[in-house]
């Protein structure tokens, strides 16, 4: 059986998400959503950091955000917590959000267009050190 490919996987992931625009993301964070930046360090240095974002490496994202995990961050308080994942362009964040939903985090989603869209929308970048969680 042949694999449907990454584009089909991405389409399937996004079908289960209510993706947010950059401005909707700002409002969600104001309402208590966790903003999770899953970009690599190099990309954060190139693009800048988002205000209020918690930086979690994609390789440990599920362990840090699963409320039942012994390796969770303190903010991972329940499966109903709204989580918005961001990446550079809004592709890997869709796959990450779908993975979080598969864990039971039903309100996990991502930001359309990633940090590139945030910058294009004229939204501010952070002037503080990033909140990096190992």
d(CA 55, CA 38): 6
Give tens-digit pLDDT for 86-108: 999 999 999 999 999 999 999 99
Homologous superfamily assigned to 6-133: Rhodanese-like domain (3.40.250.10)
E strand residue ranges, 39-130: 54-56, 83-86, 108-110
- Residue 3 is predicted with a pLDDT of 67
Domain ranges of the chain: 6-133
Q: In Å, how far from its chain's centre is CA 16? A: 15
pTM, full prediction? 0.95
Asked whether the predicted pLDDT for residue 11 surpasses 70, the reply is: yes
Give tens-digit pLDDT for 19-73: 999 999 999 999 999 999 999 999 999 999 999 999 999 999 999 999 999 999 9
């Amino acid at each position: 059986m042949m694999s449907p490919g990454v584009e089909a996987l991405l389409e399937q992931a996004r079908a289960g998400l209510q993706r947010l625009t950059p401005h909707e993301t700002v409002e969600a964070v104001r309402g208590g959503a966790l903003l999770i930046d899953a970009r690599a360090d190099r990309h954060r240095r190139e693009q800048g950091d988002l205000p209020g974002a918690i930086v979690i490496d994609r390789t440990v994202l599920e362990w840090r955000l699963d409320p039942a995990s012994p390796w969770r961050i303190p903010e991972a308080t329940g499966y109903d917590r709204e989580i918005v994942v961001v990446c550079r362009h809004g592709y890997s964040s869709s796959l990450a959000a779908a993975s979080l939903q598969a864990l039971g985090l039903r309100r996990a989603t991502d930001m359309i267009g990633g940090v590139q869209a945030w910058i294009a929308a004229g939204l501010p970048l952070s002037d503080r050190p990033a909140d990096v969680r190992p």
